[in-house]
Amino acid sequence: MNELKCPHCGNMFAVDESDYVALLGQVRNAEFERELNKRMQDMEQTQKMREQADEARRKAEEQAAQAQMQIQLQALQAQVQQAEQAKQLAVAQVRQQATEAYMRKEQELAQVRTQMEAQLKAAQEQVAYYKDLKQRMSTKMVGETLEIHCSTLFEQNLRLMMPNAYFEKDNDVVEGTKGDFVFRDKSDDGVEYISIMFEMKNENDATATKHKNEDFFAKLDSDRKKKNCEYAVLVSMLEPDSELYNGGIVDVSHRFEKMYVIRPQFFIPLISLLCQANKKSLDAKRELMLVRQQQVDVTNFEEKLMAFKDGFTRNVRLANERFADAIEEIDKTIAHLTKVRENLVKSSDNLNAADKKLQDVTIKRLTYGNPTMKAKFDEAGKQKTDN
């Protein structure tokens, strides 16, 4: 039996083993239920707190994201505003530049228009002048006057701007022909960058046989090549009614290389255009001139080297020939001396033989077979003995 104390009244009461076990089970079950309920409540409270924390964190993250998005939006708005301001500024600048360019273009066009009008007026005046002049002059005088006119234009308009230029009458006759004028210009360092052969042609209106410009192309091209000029220009008053030649500078390079036909009023503009175009290639011409000079130096060196080799070879050949002649002369001298030696040896042998024979000569041998001489030698010997 087991005794238990009542927690309410304090009395002791006895329970058997089976009741004790059953009661103990009830107590344990009740404690377990309380503990389980407590833990369930704690878990529910913890879960609720976690949910509240998650909700608070989510709201904080949303607020942070919204704040970041707001900042980015404000930055984008600022960039858009800056871009818009830059665009407006660029547009304003472009408009200003376009306006300024348009104004400059208008001014340039106005200047060109004024210049063209002045040139046209001058050309019309020159045409009228030449028509009147040709009526009063012979064919030869008309041609010479055109040359003088072009020379005067050059001296008045280009001489100061081209102090290194050469513009003179072509007086050098090559293969029976020559041009009228030769123009050349050089840079300050002496590099020739342009050269032009000029031909001036005109004729009196009363001339029976009318010439055409193309009648002089072949000769002009030939004169250009003979004088080593780069360009050929025909300054012509021929074919006065031709719209082609009256229209301006006529390029006939399709027929003859670098050849142009002009009226006198385009004499100065053509020279200016060609000079400006050729000055752009001045550096290339300097390099070409340097390369050519180097080639000339190499050629001169090679020529000097070849001349030295030829001279040295000739000297060696002459020395060999003289050496061979000397050897031949020495051989001849040796042969001659050998022959002289042989003759001297033979002479020596003959002299030795003669000496030997002389030594063998006696009175007895001399008088042998000669009784007269023997008697005389005997008599001479007797007299010598008596004395």
HEC secondary structure over 286-308: HHHHHHHHHHHHHHHHHHHHHHH
User: How far out from the chain centre does Cα 234 lie?
Assistant: 33
**Residue 86 has what pLDDT?**
78
**Residue 271 has what pLDDT?**
93
What is the domain partition of the chain in residue ranges?
Answer: 140-280
pLDDT tens, position by position, 216-225: 999 999 999 9
**Residue 85 has what pLDDT?**
82
The CATH code that applies to domain 140-280 is 3.40.1350
**Residue 182 has what pLDDT?**
95
pLDDT tens, position by position, 304-340: 767 766 776 777 677 667 767 767 777 777 777 777 7
In the chain, the DSSP E strands lie at 2-5, 12-15, 166-169, 181-186, 192-201, 231-236, 250-251, 259-262
**Residue 260 has what pLDDT?**
97
Encoding tokens for residue 209? 């046989």
**Residue 229 has what pLDDT?**
94
Q: What is the DSSP code (8-state) at residue 158?
A: T
**Residue 235 has what pLDDT?**
93
Please list the ranges in the chain whose pLDDT falls under 50. 136-141
Whether the full predicted model's pTM is greater than 0.85, yes or no, is no
